[in-house]
Amino acid sequence: MDAAEEARLIELARKGDMRAFGKLVDAHQTAVRAFLRRLVGNYADADDLAQDAFARTWEVLDRFDGSSALRTFICGVAFQYWRRQRRSSSRRQAREDAYAELADTQSEPPARAAARLALRKAMDDLPEDQRAALALCLGQDFTHAEAAGVLGLPLGTVKSHVTRGRARLQAAMGLTEKAS
Amino acid sequence: MSDDFELADLLGEAPPRGADPGFRFDVLSRVAERNRRRAAQARALKQFSIFAAIGLGFAVIQAAGFDWSDGQPVLIAAAALTAAAAAALLTIQGPGLVLARSRALLRGPILRV
């Protein structure tokens, strides 16, 4: 979707046009869902969060000033939702998530499932911002600058988060020395 | 394995490129649900405010020394006029319209959100 078409759809959505908003959802759902899947690990919870983020975006679309891309704005909303949910989630929820992740790995070869679980454990141990920066940048869906916009962090901090986070994930996979 | 794409893939496979109509439907359902909930909250707040104001009005009237017996003739006249108006409308336009008009009168100035 080109920028002019997106701006037109945003204008229509601001006036209450659900069909236009549906087109915006279609255009950006892949990036937002991929970001949250890497962040959360559990696909069902990630999609649930993504839907909440889009629904919230509908409510706060007036605050979008066009200084960044719309998907950056939506991912920022999604990040806030994830952070809030993470803070309020109980230990029971964490255990349920672990079981759900295990279920996700059951159709895979054992070696890959083990790698996935080890990586998820390492990802869960990372600080919130570092984890989110990695989730945004690892698949190269977002540039470092865009990730900085989503997370509200300086560009240098995001670059550092990605480098250090990547090193820690690789260390968890036994590929390199553990980074600080 | 050290490749960023491989790491990203292991952390969570991206959904297929392109629009998933089911996801869009779920999002729009949530939007509609949240809109409904917000409207219901606003309506509840407005009704609560109106009834609280009415209750407060009675309390203020009573505190000002106004007694029910003083206001009784006015209230009886108002009730008689309302009944007469309803009867006239019922005769002229039929019961359905009277009910609709009453509902509109109630909803319009008093309970509109």
Question: Dihedral through CA A15, CA A17, CA A23, CA A28, nearest 10?
Answer: 40
Q: Which residues of A, range 109-168, sit inside 8 Å of B by Cβ? A: 112, 115-116, 119-120, 123, 134-135, 137-141, 166
What pTM did the predictor assign? 0.67
Q: Per the structure, how many domains does chain B have?
A: 2
The predicted structure's pLDDT at residue A95: 58
* Same-domain status, B5 and B17: yes
Q: Is the pLDDT of residue B8 over 80?
A: no
User: Of all residues in chain A, what percent carry a pLDDT higher than 90?
Assistant: 30
Domain hosting B101: range is 67-113
- From chain B, the residues in CB contact with A176 under 8 A are 2
pLDDT in tens, B58-69: 888 878 887 777
**ipTM attached to this prediction:** 0.72
* Same-domain status, B6 and B60: yes
Q: Which of A32, A48, A138 to mutate to test the interface with B (most CBs of B within 10 A)?
A: A138
Closest-CA residue to A18 (of B78, B28, B4): B28
The predicted structure's pLDDT at residue B28: 93
- Interval A64-81 mean pLDDT: 90
* Same-domain status, B104 and B90: yes
User: Could you tell me the end-to-end alpha-carbon distance of chain A, in angstroms, rounded to an integer?
Assistant: 41
* Same-domain status, B55 and B37: yes
* Same-domain status, B4 and B58: yes
pLDDT in tens, A88-142: 765 556 556 665 665 655 666 777 777 778 888 888 888 888 888 988 888 777 8
